Amino acid sequence: MLTNKILLRNSLQKNQNSSIMALLAQIASFLMVAFIAVFHSSLALSLFEWSCMQGLLASFISYYLRMPLWWVFINLLFTPIVVITLSFNISPFWFLLFFVCLVSIYGKTYKTQVPLYLSSKNVTTILETLLPKQRQFSFVDLGSGCGGLLNDLADSHKNGQFYGIESAPLPFLISRIRSVFQVSNCKIFWGDFWQHDFSKYDVVYAYLSPIPMESLWQKASKEMRSGSLLISNTFIIPGITPYKSIHLRDFSKSTLYLWKIP
């Protein structure tokens, strides 16, 4: 339990650093642009052009700070998108609603650095072929999103027990509503999978991000039973060779990596 907490803390520290660095890049570039605007008043740019300049500077700073590529893009596009959106005359209610939805989907991403994106149908098809057809087994999806993958697998494998753990409120709510109309061998919990014991699962599936993979391996290899299976969609575990890799022809060209616990 203590090791889990240390692993989690290290992972969170890395993640929070990126969010803080992104914020600093935004503030620094904003100040630079404000400085240019004040002291070079001959530069007659539109608000959108200023925002593009700010975005470019923010992305240069984040690139220079060696932040992950997706932060460079976020910093590049953030202010220009805000300016474009404000130019449409939209009622503030929709912004509030949109903001609440975003927070309840992505609000914890600054901590976990695992945003919501969903496994493709090809992933479901391949997982269906990998899971046992006759014998009983248990499967967990770490961060189960809106529950689509789990419900499809639970539907096709009545011999399995399927569990999902999701920390984002809106995807969790959607998956709960979905499971009311769905199969009974699928249970989805709201919570943090780092606090969850993996020892009762035969298959652990993770579609996360590069950040937590090292910590995930340490937790999985400590808690999962020998012979059980860890499957990661897209993200490798640094330094640990999977025993099998399956390349998929879906929109994101994903690869499923499989590790057997020794």
Ligand X SMILES: C[S@@+](CC[C@H](N)C(=O)[O-])C[C@H]1O[C@@H](n2cnc3c(N)ncnc32)[C@H](O)[C@@H]1O
CB of 109 to ligand X, least distance (A): 7
- Residue 201, class by beta-carbon neighbours within 10 Å (0-12 exposed, 13-18 middle, 19+ buried)? buried
β-sheet bridge partners, residue 65: none
- By CB under 6 A, residue 171 contacts ligand X: yes
Residue number of the CB atom closest to ligand X? 143
Choose, by CB under 6 A, the member of 18, 29, 79, 112 that binds ligand X. 112
- By CB under 6 A, residue 192 contacts ligand X: yes
Q: What CA–CA distance (Å, rounded) separates 50 from 32? A: 11
CB of 233 to ligand X, least distance (A): 6
- Three-class SS of 115-158: CCCCCCHHHHHHHHHHCCCCCCEEEEEECCCCCHHHHHHHHHCC
- By CB under 6 A, residue 167 contacts ligand X: yes
Stretch that binds ligand X, among 42-50, 56-64, 166-174, 247-255 (CB under 6 A): 166-174
CB of 215 to ligand X, least distance (A): 10
- Find all residues with CB under 8 Å of 261, minimum gap 6, and list them: 220, 221, 224, 225, 226, 227, 228, 229, 230
- By CB under 6 A, residue 194 contacts ligand X: yes
Stretch that binds ligand X, among 127-135, 173-181, 187-195, 214-222 (CB under 6 A): 187-195
Please identify, using beta-carbon distances, which residue of 76 and 256 lies nearer to ligand X.
256
Q: Identity (one letter) of the amino acid at 116?
A: L
Binding site for ligand X (CB under 6 A): 112, 114, 116-119, 141, 143-145, 149, 165-168, 171, 192-194, 207-208
